[in-house]
Chain A
Amino acid sequence: MNNFEYKQAEDIATAINLISEQDNTKFLAGGTNLLDLWKYNLTNPSGLVDINRIHGLAEIKELSNGGVRLGANFKNADTAYHPIIENKYPLLSKAILAGASAQIRNMASNGGNLLQRTRCYYFYDPDVPCNKRNPGSGCPAKEGYNRIHAILGTSDHCIAVFPSDMCVALAALNALVNVEGAEGKRTIAFADFHRLPGDRPDLDNNLKPGELITSIDLPDKGFAQNYSYLKLRDRHSYAFALVSVATALELDGEMIKDARIALGGVAHKPWRSTEAENFLRGKSANESNFAAAADIILQDAKGYGHNDFKIALAKKAIIRNGLMALNPQSQLPGAKPSA
C-alpha cells in the first residue's frame, strides 16, 4: 500500500485544481471501491483529494423541467430512501437497495457508484495478466474461469462486466451525467457514459482524466406505475448480480406505450437494446411479447464456457421481470418465484 498525500477540497474549483496539480491524484468519495483497490495494490495514487466536504455536492433537488438532480456526493442510501425518489423513481430505489449492504450503501456516493471497477477475479489478482489492469498483457478470463463474465458486447481484449446495480436503473431512466473539469462543464447521456471494452479495456468510461462528476439528472419520466428490478445472484443478498434486469413500462390498458429494459451483469456497461424496446411499443404486455423482446436483446449473446448459463438465465429474467413490472407490488427479491 503506497503512501499518499491527503487533501481536502471545500469547493469544486479547488478539487479540480488539486487534481490537475499533481500526477496520479484521485478523488475520494465514499472510498468503498477506491480503498479496496488501493489495499490490493491495484491503484497507487500519490494523492487523494477528499471531495466529501464540497458544499452543494451532496444535495438532491427538483429541476424546472420536472426532473430531479442527484448530487454526486449524495449517498446511495439517502437516494434510495428519499421520498421524491421512492415516489417518482421507485425503480432507482429498488436497484440501489438490491446492491451491496446497508453499511456500504450508507458510505457509497452516487458519483462513485458510476466509477466502480469490475469484479473480474483476474483483474483483482496482480500476479496474472489482465488487459484492463495492464494493457497488452492478455485476458486470462476468456479461456479461464469466466462464470461471472459478459455475454454481450465483449471483445477479444476483455470480457469483464460492470458490476453496478444503480447504473442499470439509471440507464433505463435515461439519466444524464454532469461533469466538470479544467476545460469546463459538459453533460454526458447515460448510454454514452460507460464504454464497451473494444481494444481499450483499460478505459471503463468516457470521463476524462481530472474530470469531476458533479451530479446526475433524472428526466421527468419516472415510470412509477410499472417498474421492476430483478437481481439474480449466488447468494440471496450481498452479492453481485449474475444477471439483473431493470424494466420500466408505460401502459395504455394492456398495450405498451413505452418500454425500457436494461440489463446488468452481462456486459461492460448497462445493456439496452433500442430494437427490443421499439418492438414492444404498441404490443400487448404479455409473456410471449416479453419473450420475443428477450430474443432480440440476446440475439448476439455469446458464452465463454462457464457463463453459458447466463444466456438462458437472462431470457427468463427479462420475461419474469416484464410480468412483475405489470404489478410492482408482486416483486420479490432474488430467485424466489413470484406469488
Chain B
Amino acid sequence: MKNNKTKLTPEEHRLFGDLMPEELEDVLHSGFNRRHFVKLMGLATAGLLASYALGAEQLFARAVEMEDIPNLIPEAIENGVTVNFKVNSTPRNVLVDSRMTLLDTLRERIGLTGSKKGCDHGQCGACTVIVDGHRVLSCLTLAATCQGKSVITIEGLAKDNELNPMQAAFLKHDGFQCGFCTPGQICSAVALMKEAKEGQASFATKKLSTDPKSIILSEEEIAERMSGNICRCGAYPNIVAAIKEAQTGKNVPQNWLFTD
C-alpha cells in the first residue's frame, strides 16, 4: 500500500494540477490519501473528470493511504473480545466491545469507511461486504463472530492500480448518483457473479439447476438477485447494465449519451 504514494502518471499530474491545484503539492509529497479521494469522488459525480477519463480510472483504483488505528485500552471496554481476522488480505487484531458490529469495526476502528451505514437493520444493503466468499450484511454481523474469517470490502476489490471489472463497469454505466449505496452494490454484484457462475438459482430462475452450470443473467434475474441493495437515487437501470456488461464481458451500450 505504501509504495503507491510514488510518482503520479502524467495524466494524474495534469488532473491534479488543473482541478485540485492546492492538493498537488500534498499528493506529490505525502501520497494520495482519503481526503483527496473524497474530493475526487465529488469531482467525479459533478462530471468534471470526464475529459481525464484515463487518469480518473487509475485514481479510483489507487489504494488509499491508511494510518494504523491504535487499539483502545482494554479497561475502556466492557465485555471486550479480541478478534483476529483478515480485512482485504491484511491480518487485523482488534479488541472490540462485544456489541460492536462488523460494520462499526470496519468504519470506526479500522478506518475503512467505504462500507456504508444506511439503515443499520438489514434492510438496505449499503453495508454489504464479502465474508469467506459470501456476501453478507456487516450491520447485522457481530465483529466477535468474525474470528479467523476473511473480509473483503469495497476498498479491497481493486488490485494495484487496476479496478475490479465490476467497478469499471459501474463507472462506465454511471451505476450511481450520490454514490452512497455504491460500495454495497458493487460488493453484492461481485459476489453475485460467483453465485451465477456456480449455478445457484434465484427465485426468478425457471429451473432449479442441479449441476453447477453457469447462469446467464437476464435483467429480471439481476433485479431479483440484487434486490437486497436499495438505491434511493434509483440508479437501477444503470446498475443492471453495468452488471450485464461485467457478467458477459461484452460491451453493453450505456443508458445515457452525450449530446452536442
Shortest beta-carbon distance, A46 to chain B, in Å? 10
A215 an interface residue at 8 Å Cβ cutoff?
A: no
- Cβ of A35 and Cβ of B79 under 8 Å apart? no
Report which residue of A1, A48, A331 has the largest number of chain B beta carbons within 10 angstroms of its beta carbon.
A48
Bound Cα distance A5, B98 (Å): 7
- Cβ of B228 and Cβ of A101 under 8 Å apart? yes
- Cβ of A102 and Cβ of B195 under 8 Å apart? yes
- Cβ of A107 and Cβ of B201 under 8 Å apart? no
Bound Cα distance A102, B222 (Å): 12
Which of B98, B121, B125, B225 lies in contact with A39, CB distance below 8 A?
B121
Known contacts A3-B99, A4-B79, A80-B201; is-contact A104 B227 (Cβ 8 Å): no
Instruction: Scan residues 282-311 of chain A and give those whose CB is less than 8 A from a CB of chain B.
Output: none
Which of B188, B207, B223 lies in contact with A237, CB distance below 8 A?
B223
Bound Cα distance A32, B188 (Å): 17
Q: Which residues of A contact B207 (CB under 8 A)?
A: 329
- Cβ of A104 and Cβ of B98 under 8 Å apart? no
Shortest beta-carbon distance, A314 to chain B, in Å? 20
- Cβ of A102 and Cβ of B188 under 8 Å apart? yes
- Cβ of A35 and Cβ of B140 under 8 Å apart? yes
Q: Using a Cβ–Cβ cut-off of 8 Å, how many residues does chain B contribute to the interface with A?
A: 41
- Cβ of A102 and Cβ of B192 under 8 Å apart? yes
Q: Which residues of B contact A48 (CB under 8 A)?
A: 98, 142
Contact size range, A: 35 or more
Shortest beta-carbon distance, B199 to chain A, in Å? 8
Q: Which residues of B contact A236 (CB under 8 A)?
A: 223-224, 227
- Cβ of A81 and Cβ of B201 under 8 Å apart? yes
Bound Cα distance A231, B227 (Å): 15
- Cβ of B137 and Cβ of A103 under 8 Å apart? yes
- Cβ of A90 and Cβ of B136 under 8 Å apart? no
Bound Cα distance A80, B199 (Å): 12
Instruction: Scan residues 1-28 of chain A and give those whose CB is less than 8 A from a CB of chain B.
Output: 1, 3-6, 28
Report which residue of B101, B137, B141, B188 has the largest number of chain A beta carbons within 10 angstroms of its beta carbon.
B137
The closest CB in chain A to the CB of B98 belongs to A6
Q: Which residues of B contact A102 (CB under 8 A)?
A: 135, 188, 191-192, 195, 202, 225, 228
Q: Which residues of B contact A31 (CB under 8 A)?
A: 140-142, 145
Shortest beta-carbon distance, B208 to chain A, in Å? 4
Report which residue of A40, A102, A331 has the largest number of chain B beta carbons within 10 angstroms of its beta carbon.
A102
- Cβ of A4 and Cβ of B98 under 8 Å apart? yes
Interface stretch among A91-99, A173-181, A256-264?
A91-99
- Cβ of A86 and Cβ of B209 under 8 Å apart? yes
Shortest beta-carbon distance, A230 to chain B, in Å? 11
Known contacts A102-B135, A104-B228; is-contact A6 B208 (Cβ 8 Å): no
- Cβ of A106 and Cβ of B140 under 8 Å apart? no
Bound Cα distance A35, B99 (Å): 9
Q: Which residues of A contact B237 (CB under 8 A)?
A: none
Known contacts A3-B78, A102-B195; is-contact A50 B188 (Cβ 8 Å): no
A83 an interface residue at 8 Å Cβ cutoff?
A: yes
Q: Which residues of A contact B140 (CB under 8 A)?
A: 30-32, 35-36, 104, 107
Known contacts A101-B125, A103-B135; is-contact A94 B203 (Cβ 8 Å): yes
A333 an interface residue at 8 Å Cβ cutoff?
A: yes
Chain B residues at the A interface, C-beta cutoff of 8 Å: 78-79, 81, 98-99, 101, 120-122, 125, 128, 134-137, 140-142, 144-145, 188, 191-192, 195, 200-210, 223-225, 227-229
The 10 closest A-B pairs by CB, nearest first: A101-B228, A237-B227, A6-B98, A238-B227, A97-B203, A86-B208, A106-B134, A333-B203, A81-B200, A103-B228
Complex A-B: 23 CB contacts under 8 Å? A3-B98, A4-B98, A5-B98, A6-B79, A6-B142, A6-B144, A31-B140, A31-B145, A36-B122, A40-B121, A83-B210, A94-B203, A97-B201, A98-B203, A100-B228, A101-B229, A103-B135, A103-B137, A104-B228, A107-B140, A235-B227, A236-B224, A237-B203
Apart from A4-B79, A238-B228: 20 A-B pairs, beta carbons within 8 A? A3-B78, A3-B79, A5-B79, A6-B79, A28-B145, A30-B140, A32-B122, A52-B145, A86-B210, A93-B208, A97-B203, A97-B205, A101-B228, A102-B195, A103-B228, A104-B228, A107-B136, A235-B227, A236-B223, A237-B203
Chain A residues at the B interface, C-beta cutoff of 8 Å: 1, 3-6, 28, 30-32, 35-36, 39-40, 48, 50, 52, 77, 80-81, 83, 86-87, 90, 93-94, 97-98, 100-104, 106-107, 231, 235-238, 329, 331, 333
